[in-house]
A = this chain, B = another copy of it.
């Protein structure tokens, strides 16, 4: 569930969002978008949590890869629905991951 991204640098797309009360196919399309993103060139992994506030971070090899995914036809449709009905608010941040470190319990 913690994305196994390669050593930096890479890019992160941090998508922080609040949902409306409208479902209308949200869950299904969100899952489809994850599956589709995973197939895109330059995709490196993602992490996603929701508890009221939703945070989804996807990791990419380059800005070019992010741009291509943002312009993918199916993704454009999802973005349109997102603004029209699913999201009350969101913020997307494009960030260059410069450094990372981690920890994993050995037991």
The residues of B that contact A93 with a CB separation of less than 8 Å are 5, 8, 12, 97, 99-100
Chain A interface main SS type: strand
The residues of B that contact A27 with a CB separation of less than 8 Å are none
Interface residues on A, range: 35 or more
Given contacts A3-B16, A14-B57, A49-B55, contact A88 B105 (CB under 8 A): yes
Min CB distance A12 to B, Å, is 5
Task: State the oligomeric state as a number of copies.
Answer: 2
Nearest CB to that of A49 among chain B residues?
B49
The residues of B that contact A17 with a CB separation of less than 8 Å are 2
Chain A interface residues (CB < 8 Å from chain B): 1-3, 5, 8, 12, 14, 16-18, 20, 47-55, 57, 83, 87-105
Question: 18 pairs across A/B with beta carbons < 8 Å?
Answer: A1-B53, A2-B91, A3-B91, A5-B93, A49-B49, A50-B51, A89-B104, A91-B100, A91-B101, A92-B100, A92-B102, A93-B97, A93-B100, A94-B97, A94-B99, A95-B96, A95-B98, A96-B98
